[in-house]
Amino acid sequence: MKRIVAVHKVIAKSNGPLTPSATRIFKEILSEASQYIVIIAAANKFQVSGPWMDQCVVDVDRKTCSCRKWELTAMPCKHAVAALWNMSQNGIDVGVVEEWVDEVYWLDTWKKVYMNTVEPINGEDLWMPSACPTTITPPKHHKQIGRPRKKRKKSAVELANKISKKRKLTRTGGNCRL
């Protein structure tokens, strides 16, 4: 209940299309994307080169990048953002870049998840007595006789393969060295 109330307070303070943590991460991606150079390869495929000699292929239709961050996080990587900016500069309508982020990170989705609340309940002293005639008791526990075992029980496979770390066979296997 406390966590739900805390999230409701954060939601009330939040503005923008994304959750606060997603907004913070996406701002870093946007700042890094400004350093990349984009070359159009096909209708919706781009070659994106960076200042550190890194180069990736972005497919906007499939929402994929060769760095795989877009597929793994469902948030466009710096290469994809650079490609989307290039598309908008060339007259292709891509909308707002935040719309390319998966719905998981949207503030509206977060609001829907935390829409329901947990109803508070009265203390145990105010509970109604049960009308059920049977009571369930825990099983009786008895302590085992004797000293507890210190070693674990070995499986049949371990007992069959009794070769020690020094690569010697046991007495049952003979006194030969391997």
Other beta carbons within 10 Å of 59: 17
Query: How many CB atoms are located within 10 Å of the residue 107 CB?
Result: 17
Report the predicted TM-score, pTM, of the whole model to 2 decimal places: 0.66
At residue 59, the 3 state secondary structure works out as: strand
Mapped onto helix, strand or coil, the DSSP state of residue 47 is strand
Q: Which helix (H) or strand (E) element contains residue 46? A: strand 45-49
For residue range 27-59, what is the model confidence (pLDDT) as tens digits? 999 999 999 999 998 888 999 998 888 899 999
- Residues 113-134 have pLDDT tens digits of 999 888 899 998 998 888 888 8
| pLDDT for the residue 162 | 67
Across-strand partners of 38?
48
What are the residue boundaries of the structural domains of the chain, listed by start? Answer: 2-113
